A and B are shown apart, each in its own frame.
Chain A
Amino acid sequence: MKSLMDKCCDKCTHALDNPCKDYIKCRKEGPICHQDDACKEKRQKILAELHLAEDSQKRQILICAGTGCTSSGSGKLAESLKQELQNKGLSDQVEVKVTGCHGFCEQGPLMIVEPQKTFYTRVAAEDVPEVVEKHLIGGEIVERLLYKEPNTGETAPTYETVPFYAKQKRLVLHNCGHINPEVIDDYIANDGYAGFVKALFEMTPEEVIEDVKRSGLRGRGGAGFPTGMKWGFVRQAAGDKKYVVCNADEGDPGAFMDRSVLEGDPHAVIEGMAICAYAVGADEGYIYVRAEYPLAIERLKIAIAQAEERGILGNNIFNSGFNFKLKIKAGAGAFVCGEETALLTSIEGNRGMPRVRPPFPANKGLWDKPTNLNNVETYANVPYILRNGGAEYAKLGTEKSKGTKIFALTGKVNNTGLVEVPMGITMREIIFAIGGGIQNGMKFKAVQIGGPSGGCIPEELLDLPVDYDSLTAAGAMMGSGGLVVMDETTCMVDVARFFLTFTQAESCGKCTPCREGTKRMLEILTRICDGQGKLEDIENLERLGRVVKSTALCGLGQTCANPILSTLRYFKHEYLAHIEEKRCPAGVCTALLTYKIDPEKCKGCGKCAKGCPAGAITGEKKQPHVIDTTKCIKCGACITGCKFDAIYKA
């Protein structure tokens, strides 16, 4: 018996054609059908290897293989580590485990040594000999690879002491980075599929729905509709054929939490969908994943195949009479397919255009059958709720927003990465306590939340508790939870234009308000950024925004004006500076800038003049140079070239 999922002896009966009711329980607690101590011991031994005890002599090295760390070279790192361990004859005592995203992408590639929880950051293949020699053989920590707090310079020996992790509450992400997502044993050893088994054998579908309602879980896709209520609608809908669908078409620029969950813990999503299928009475499901996420698709395929092989998906699951099949559909690149009706029609093989609701998918969804559609993160919350009970889950969060939310913290913040926090935490805590403040000692200006559907939150609202309702009141929205931090070098008009460029390109064109409205609003914003803005533009933007918001067909159009309206609300002075003073305060809008040379700092090296493609810079050697603003094309080549910081934008 090599794996947790193998038969312990001939008495073990579980097979696809003869599924065992106690299969999952048996793997964790030892054989239940035949109380054999020898078999039990075998299982416990394997479990102990999957989950090292604190005093274990063995070591596990967890290497992050999320997209972020992979691109910083974690694949090579894992290879050379395995090689080095073999050379030193340590392969038996040290296991190298490739895991999903640890969430702290800024510091990647990341490495954890278990059971000591030692946390190494930015580990390169060249560091491997030192880690093996010093830490694994000598038992001494390699100080220089530890995380160092940028402000205080203090090091943190374990991941639990790194401020980035210490202030989080990792509930959905608890497996991410700690298990091998390609090995089902790892998931089951960490209580995986226990919630599903509990639902199947101890609860009626109605009780499952009640429990989800009790948990207060709201849809994590953005709008925040109560999940239990949605499941109830699908359960009650007429028809014997029903579907469950998972929306993994995470297209929001600046959001990658769904990707990390799919890559790091795919079984959690599968388990959540299986529980949902049982609750609503469906026997077929689809996961609609972006084609831009090849690794997520790959890991899901492996996870589904492993679950099928063991009879966790398929017919007569665990001899309960319940059937559930799961398929993957790769999206083909259209942001609007994140909208539920567009997503469903795309699965059917059409152009992904939304339609009018009602009828809602709960009554008429995929192929006109009742369909439950939730986001990746929503499903990934469900196993925890079933395992621990809805009431336990509801202890976290605020009165109307329960549980935790994963945010993708990016932009001009020191610690970028995935952050899971209880609802109700303030934005300030996320950005400054967990995110470590603004990069390069700059000043905070705004945080953009919720992608193209969201808005910008200014400094004075940083103490706002983060939940669905307070964000909506502030003119933003949760969206999928992308947080992009902006400092004083970000132009808010340019940001609004950026999002409008995106929504305008992604509008499917079916309804006029969105098709025409986004185009006109983008034209106005472009004009303002180009220095051609007029005062009435502001009023027009506000009016257009309101009209599109209230008349567009689907969520894309209804929210596309949010970035404009929220920047107008909190940063009107920046718009006015562009229009009235023809000035971009952040120094971003090229048309409004002039490049100047500081004669004090200029050493007259001539590098800028040589690099200028327009021949706009002149000057004597060793004398301060000057820029002819009429010739300057504002490409910035001189700034990047100057060693003395003598050139600036004004």
Chain B
Amino acid sequence: MAACKCGCEQHAVDPQQEALQKMLDGYKGQKGALIPVLQEAQEIYGYLPKEVMQQISKELNIPFSKIFGVATFYAQFHLKPRGRNIIRVCQGTACHVRGGAKVLEAISKKLGVGKNETTEDLRFTLETVACLGACGLAPVMMVNNDTHGRLTPDVAVSILEKYE
């Protein structure tokens, strides 16, 4: 089990820290492990805190600068905490020509946050995505892992009520 560096008792059994350590142990010595490691770390923490990236750097012997470079290059990685529910409004071509921008606008107005922002109560994070590959149902959005299609601004906003 990962020991706590600050010496206090409570952190000694931090389940997230434990899961991270276990995952890192599994990847040691594997080539090309950085991206899956970051994906799994983000899975554990919901985002990539600085300390976590530092620990990955130490354990896998990869310079921190490289880790930071990779984490900021890919759209999937987040360096700030995110909401409990992730809304991803599709802005693909099909959604674009069928009014995807209006859907985004309506949600943004309803939640009072812009693109890539999180509501204060951490209930929602609003993101856009280049294409969800469900173009037949355009305009589309994903909330967590559920895809919702054939949206209108009103319908999109009302769907959000289901997510606490």
Interface residues of A (CB under 8 A from B): 67-68, 70-72, 105-106, 108, 250-256, 259, 291-294, 329-335, 346-352, 367, 408, 410-412, 416-417, 448, 451, 482, 484, 486, 490, 495, 498-499, 502, 506, 508, 636, 640
Contacts and interface: CB of A to CB of B under 8 A. Distances in A.
A526 to B, nearest CB: 14
Given A253-B91, A253-B93, A255-B131, A410 B36 contact: no
A424 B17 CA distance: 58
Contacts of B84: none
Interface residues of B, number: 42
Interface of B: 31-36, 38-39, 66, 69-70, 73-77, 91-94, 96-98, 102, 129-138, 140, 145-150, 153
Contacts of A334: 73-75
Given A332-B38, A349-B33, 16 more contacts: A67-B133, A67-B134, A70-B147, A71-B148, A256-B134, A292-B132, A293-B133, A332-B77, A334-B74, A348-B32, A349-B32, A410-B136, A411-B93, A416-B138, A498-B96, A506-B130
A254 B93 contact: yes
A67 B135 CA distance: 10
Contacts of B102: 636
A624 to B, nearest CB: 27
Contacts of B76: 291, 331-333
Shortest 3 CB-CB contacts between residues of A and residues of B:
A105-B136, A333-B75, A253-B92
Nearest to B70: A351
Nearest to B150: A72
Interface centre among B98, B130, B146 (most CB of A within 10 A): B130
A292 B66 CA distance: 24
Given A71-B148, A332-B35, A351-B69, A251 B131 contact: yes
A411 B70 contact: no
Contacts of B31: 348-349, 367
Contact of A253 (B35, B75, B130, B146): B130
B76 to A, nearest CB: 4
B73 A352 contact: yes
29 contacts: A67-B132, A67-B134, A67-B147, A72-B149, A105-B136, A253-B92, A253-B96, A254-B135, A292-B133, A330-B36, A330-B39, A332-B74, A348-B31, A348-B32, A349-B32, A352-B74, A410-B136, A411-B94, A412-B97, A412-B98, A416-B135, A482-B93, A484-B93, A484-B97, A490-B97, A498-B93, A498-B96, A508-B73, A636-B102
Contact of B137 (A68, A329, A411): A68
A416 B92 CA distance: 15
A5 B132 CA distance: 35
Contacts of A640: 153
B130 A347 contact: no
Nearest to B136: A105
Contacts of A347: 32
Contacts of A495: 93, 96-97
Contacts of A105: 134-137
Contact of B130 (A72, A251, A329, A408): A251
Nearest to B137: A68
B130 A411 contact: no
Contacts of A508: 73
A348 B70 CA distance: 11
A517 B150 CA distance: 36
Contacts of A410: 93-94, 135-136, 138
Contacts of B149: 68, 71-72
B97 A291 contact: no
Nearest to B154: A640
Contacts of A253: 91-94, 96, 130-131
Nearest to B102: A636
A250 B129 CA distance: 13
A473 to B, nearest CB: 23
Interface centre among B31, B34, B136, B146 (most CB of A within 10 A): B136
A71 B134 contact: yes
A108 B96 CA distance: 21
A506 B34 CA distance: 21
A332 B39 CA distance: 8
A410 B74 CA distance: 28
A22 B130 CA distance: 46
A72 B134 CA distance: 11
Contacts of A331: 74, 76
A490 B96 CA distance: 10
Contact of B74 (A255, A333, A367): A333
Nearest to A336: B73
Contacts of B134: 67-68, 71, 105, 256
Contacts of A350: 34, 66, 70
Interface centre among A291, A292, A448 (most CB of B within 10 A): A292
A292 B129 contact: yes
Contact of A349 (B35, B75, B94, B130): B35
Contacts of A329: 32, 35-36
Contacts of A351: 69-70, 73-74
Interface centre among A251, A333, A410, A495 (most CB of B within 10 A): A410
Contacts of A259: 133
Interface centre among B35, B97, B129 (most CB of A within 10 A): B97
A333 B39 CA distance: 11
Contacts of B92: 253-254
A71 B146 contact: yes
Contacts of A412: 97-98
Contacts of B132: 67, 292
Given A335-B130, A352-B73, A506-B130, A72 B96 contact: no
Contact of A252 (B74, B77, B131): B131
Contacts of A636: 102
Contact of A448 (B34, B74, B93, B129): B93
Contact of B97 (A250, A255, A411): A411
A346 B145 CA distance: 25
A254 B145 CA distance: 20
